[in-house]
Amino acid sequence: MTDIGHAVRQICAVYHNDASRLMDIIEAVQSRYGCVSSEAMNLIAQALGIPRVEVHSTVSFYSFLSNRPKGRVIIRLCSDPIDEMFGMLPVANTFEETLGVHVGETTADGAITLEWTPCIGMSDQAPAALINDVVVTYLSTDKAREIVAELRRSGDPRKLVHRLGDGHNAHPLVRAMVHNNIRRKGPVVLADLPPGAALRKALAMSPIEVIRDIKTSRLRGRGGAGFPTGMKWEFTRQAEGARKFVICNADEGEPGTFKDRVILTEYADLMFEGMTIAGYAIGAKEGILYLRGEYAYLRPLLEHILQVRRDAGLLGRDICGKRGFEFDIRIQLGAGAYVCGEETSLLSSCEGRRGDPKNRPPFPAQKGYLGCPTSVNNVETFCCVARILDRGPGWFAEIGSKGSPGTKLFSVSGDCAAPGVYEYPFGITLAELLRDVGAEDVQAVQVGGPSGQLVGPDSFGRRLEYDDLATGGSIMIFNSSRDLVHIVRKFLEFFADESCGYCTPCRVGNVLLLRKIEEILHDRGSPDDLHYLEELSATVKFASRCGLGQTSPNTVLSLLRNFPEVLKRRLKPPAGEFLATFDIRAALADTERLVGRSSVMYAP
Amino acid sequence: MSETIGFTIDGRPVRARPGQTILEAADAAGIYIPRLCAHRELHPFGACRVCTVKVNGRPQAACTMPAAEGMVVESNTPELTEHRRRLIEMLFVEGNHYCMFCEKSGNCELQALAYRFGITAPRYPYLFPNRDVDASHPDVLLDRNRCVLCARCVRASQQLDGKNVFQFVGRGANKTLWVNAERELADTNLDVRDRAVDVCPVGCILRKRQGYTIPIGRRRYDHEPIGSDIERAGAARGA
């Protein structure tokens, strides 16, 4: 065994003992030693000259990082409702039985750990799991048994991949069984563009002209918030600072979203091209792709594409022969934290810290990564940028609807014939989409993921665009057999787990919302609960510090507004003298057992 | 007066120096905006959200939001009072707060806020979390049952004491105040005279062997509601 002190110091030295690279350092230590032990934390803190508790704080924040040893193989089962609908619970039971552990435990020989994890971006091929970095899809109880047998035999998750997926999923650097499931290509994102074509056109203009083109195209951010991209770039360009950054948010964690996975797999060149154009426009030399930890399996391919672009003169110094224009991109790997999709949390994470959001103002355009002006944009947004520079802003602005130019990628999952990725012009109705994906007997659609809205058939005529049904792209379809209250409970569980805990309303409020929905599911709900949920949701939305808490109650509120009868059916006025949540029999059980007789007043 | 910013809080004109937050400007003007994590000597943090006000109709934490010319700030409205009441109740049910035998009773800012808002019992269910008590330090007790995660000690240790004794670990409901040591508070360089010990608004960080040196009934908030000092100073200036 190598001396851990030596190894940790070496890892820290690779990152120049720079505390802002703590995430990379921790990930490297963990991949070598299986965890970041107390001793390792001391050593990292020493090497970087930071307090030990700062290292501990970062390690403890991310669900893929651990300070205790886990199995050499970690099976992470996707816990989202779509996976459950397609049979995850029996699969989980089979894993538990064959491994002889419960979810959350490690086998006695220290070989395999079994865990739940929120959406891994594979809802179109559910149920799915991550086994270390290897994705396994379309799970069944039989496959679960085979997986355990193979892991027991070889201990190597890579041996679980027998048939490779399509496109770059079969690339030697990926070798994944993942399928792209591209169902409908549009003219903007899912279309070919020779590397460098858009960039050369951009470099023939001045940076200010590039920003003007993006503003003329009226491109809005594709991550969900819909902020005008040109304006964000302009603010970043105008902000004072010698060092500026372009960051691509590839932390798509909204349950039911997987369109960025497909872009990263097949259209990464387009995205990198958009980032490079952004660097030119705002005056940044450095770019970061923040890649969610769940997509670590794509990292070797992405690194390779970056290198090819460097070799082709599309990254580095004097790009495309443009003297003085310098730009390069590094990949920052996340480690399992949904909140890091929030742009200021993402910045904290890139800086090596817990993924706490930052106070605004100042906004990232003024003071972002390491205090420097930073533009954070979505994967799909950068693809749009490259296309706009290639085809012109007028071409782009004519696609889609008035307030929402361009196309949108939708990640469609759940009860439909053809789950997958669809690129449509903005403004199509939900009904059109549902028809194309082969959805029948639809009870409800979760538009925009759990932080979006749950809508019923009376909303199917509405348009998918910023001014009507806005969405970052997640479309989850539930037929009439699904229990919507249970689905809302799953979503609240997700938010409660993923809250960073910084502010009171999100940290406590989501737990309280979850408790109440659970009571209702256990038939302990009373009519007063509707009011309780409304009030509590209002405060969580109103007072939360970032987008997570400001949107997490949407799932409850849309259930209350759009499906009041579904909830009311489960509520009943308290029968006796007690609150519906109070179970007198349970409360008396211990006493009755101790005194050896049942209560006289409250006899069963 | 050049170089000052003019805005209104609940219709009252207020002036602020550039760079001042809404909360600081309100304090100077004698308007009390309820708050818990904010502390005069520390950089604003924005965690408790009790000081949430409406700025031109949108919610903002008064402690982190810089004052700007022409802002219309609402603070003392029935809607905001109701949100604040709920936030305070959340803080009560989230921890294990046993006011009746807490040494901080009467000096506790959380308790004082509850009294000011007329909260007698929270409407939310108690979550009864399992939290650790760290009594290892010879002079200081750390009882996480009463922690409200305000980060005052974290900030005071860094900003006033020049140390790094405290930080948070975990996330969500599992977020916990931790210390800069492998095991416990005794292993840190915390000194009983550190400002980090003083700034705790609740009974989470307590000096040992100092129980009830001021009797109940003669404590800070036993006589007047929290925020009275700010309002009194404002009234005196206004008179």
Q: B47–A503: do the CB atoms touch at under 8 Å?
A: yes
Indicate the burial class of A569 (C-beta count within 10 angstroms; 0-12, 13-18, 19 or more). Answer: exposed
Query: What span, in angstroms and rounded, lies between the C-alpha atoms of A580 and B114?
Result: 27
Instruction: Note whether B93 and B126 are within 8 A (CB).
Output: yes
Contacts of A536 (CB under 8 A, 6+ apart): A509, A512, A513, A516, A553, B86, B124
Are A497 and B172 an interchain contact pair (Cβ–Cβ within 8 Å)? yes
Using DSSP, state whether A10 is helix, strand or coil: helix
B228 within a domain of the structure (yes/no): no
Identify all chain B residues contacting A60, using CB atoms and an 8 Å cutoff: 169-171
Residue B73 bridge partners (DSSP): B9, B55
Mean pLDDT (whole number) for B197-205: 98
B61, B156: one domain:
no
| Residues of chain B neighbouring A52 (CB-CB closer than 8 A) | 180-182
Q: Domains of chain A: which residue ranges? A: 4-61, 75-162, 184-397, 407-481, 485-568
pLDDT digits (tens, 9 = 90+) for B220-233: 999 999 999 999 98
The CATH number assigned to the domain holding B13 equals 3.10.20.740
Comparing alpha-carbon positions, the chain A residue that sits nearest to B64 is A359
Chain A contact set for B190 (CB, 8 A): none
Q: What is the CATH number of the domain that holds B145?
A: 3.30.70.20
* Mean pLDDT, residues A232-249 taken together: 97
- Mean pLDDT across the stretch A524-550? 96
State the CATH class of domain A485-568.
mainly alpha
DSSP A400: B
A123 touches A80 (CB < 8 A): yes
Closest chain B C-alpha to A320 CA, distance in angstroms: 44
Quick one: DSSP state of residue A20? G
* Stretch among A18-22, A214-218, B119-123 having the lowest mean pLDDT: B119-123
> Cβ–Cβ of A61/B171 closer than 8 Å?
yes
- Architecture in CATH for domain A407-481: Roll (3.10)
pLDDT at B239: 47
B28/B109 same-domain check = no
At residue A2, the pLDDT reads 61
Query: Confidence band (pLDDT; 50, 70, 90) for A492?
Result: very high
Inside any domain, residue B103? yes
Q: How confident is the model at residue A573 (pLDDT cuts 50, 70, 90)?
A: confident
Q: Based on the domain organization, do B26 and B140 belong to the same domain?
A: no
Residues B103 and B21 in one domain: no
Average pLDDT (A491-512) is: 98
Q: Please enumerate in sequence order all residues whose Cβ is within 8 A of that of B95, keeping only pairs 6 or more positions apart, or say none.
A: B129, B131, B145, B146, B147, B148
Chain B neighbours among A 55-74 (CB < 8 Å)? Answer: 56-57, 60-61
Percent of residues, chain A, with pLDDT higher than 90: 94
Residue A504 at interface with chain B, using a CB cutoff of 8 Å:
yes
Please indicate, yes or no, whether residues B18 and B65 belong to a single structural domain of this protein: yes
Nearest chain A residue to B49, by CA? A543
> To the nearest whole number, what is the mean pLDDT of chain B?
96
Identify the domain boundary among B61, B76, B91. B76
Residues of A in contact with B171 (CB under 8 A): 60-61, 337, 339, 354-355, 498-501
Asked, for residue B94, whether it belongs to a domain, the answer is: no
- Determine the distance in angstroms separating the CA of A543 from the nearest CA of chain B, rounded to an integer: 6
Q: Are A137 and A125 a contacting pair, CB within 8 Å?
A: yes
- Other C-beta atoms within 10 Å of A345: how many? 25
Q: Please name the member of B45, B90, B175 whose beta carbon is closest to the beta carbon of A505.
A: B90
Contact B64 A544 (CB under 8 A): no
Contact A505 B49 (CB under 8 A): yes
Give a yes or no: residue B237 inside a domain.
no
* Average pLDDT along chain A: 96
Count of A-B CB contacts under 8 Å: 124
Same domain, B169 and B217: yes
Q: Decide if pLDDT at A224 tops 90.
A: no
* Segment 461-500 of chain A within 8 Å of chain B by CB: 496-500
Q: Is A337 at the interface with chain B, CB within 8 A?
A: yes
Q: Sort out which chain B residues have CB atoms less than 8 A from A53's CB and list them.
A: 164, 166-167, 169, 178-181
Whether residue B118 lies inside any domain: the answer is yes
Name the domain count of chain B: 2
In chain A, the residue whose alpha carbon lies closest to the alpha carbon of B176 is A501
B235 lies in some domain: no
Question: What is the DSSP secondary structure assignment for residue A338, as one 8-state letter?
Answer: G
Closest CA to A245 of A361, A371, A342, A344: A371
Q: What is the mean pLDDT of residues A286-309?
A: 98
How many other C-beta atoms are found inside a 10 Å radius of the C-beta of residue B210? 11
- Answer whether residue B91 is part of any domain: no
Q: How confident is the model at residue B238 (pLDDT cuts 50, 70, 90)?
A: low
User: What does the pLDDT average to over A577-594?
Assistant: 86
- Check B59 against A503: CB less than 8 A apart: no
Decide if A57 and B168 are in contact by the 8 Å CB cutoff: yes
pLDDT for B3 equals 85
Mutate to test the interface with B, among A507, A524, A544 (most CBs of B within 10 A): A507
At residue A376 the predicted structure's pLDDT band, cuts being 50, 70 and 90, is: very high
- Closest-CA distance, A377 to chain B, in angstroms, reads 24
Residues B155 and B207 in one domain: yes
| Tens digits of residue pLDDT in B23-54 | 999 999 999 999 999 999 999 999 999 999 99
d(CA A179, CA A262): 9
Write the DSSP symbol of residue A349.
H
Same domain, residue pair B219 and B140: yes
B167: nearest CB among A54, A499, A515: A54
Q: Do B169 and A536 touch (CB under 8 A)?
A: no
The torsion angles phi and psi of B235, rounded to 5 degrees, stand at -65, -40
* Bond prior to A450 in cis (omega within 30° of 0): no
Q: Which pLDDT does position B171 carry in this prediction?
A: 97
Nearest by CB: A496 against B87, B173, B182:
B173
B169: chain A residues, CB-CB within 8 Å: 53, 56-57, 60-61
**B58 with B114, same domain?**
no
ipTM: 0.97
Across residues A73-91, what is the average pLDDT? Answer: 97
Q: Which CATH superfamily groups domain A75-162?
A: Glutaredoxin (3.40.30.10)
Residue A445 has pLDDT above 50, yes or no: yes
pLDDT bracket for residue A258 (50, 70, 90): very high
Residue B230 lies in a domain: no
- pLDDT in the model for residue B2: 57
Closest CA to A506 of B125, B149, B121, B154: B149
* Non-local CB neighbours of A393 within 8 Å, separated by 6+ positions: A213, A214, A216, A217
pLDDT band at A92 (very low <50, low <70, confident <90, very high): very high
Give yes or no: residues B191 and B108 share one domain.
yes
Q: Which residues of A touch B46 (CB under 8 A)?
A: 359, 503, 545
Max CA pair span of chain A: 92
Architecture of domain A184-397: 3-Layer(aba) Sandwich (3.40)
Asked if residue B26 lies in contact with residue B234, where contact means CB atoms within 8 angstroms, the answer is no
* Whether residue B16 sits in one domain with residue B116: no
Q: What is the DSSP letter of A356?
A: P
Residues B181 and B113 in one domain: yes
User: Taking CB atoms and an 8 Å limit, are A337 and B171 in contact across chains?
Assistant: yes
**Most A CBs within 10 Å: which of B43, B171, B183, B202, as the mutation test of the A interface?**
B171
Percent of residues, chain B, with pLDDT higher than 70: 98
Domain of residue B171, residue span:
99-223
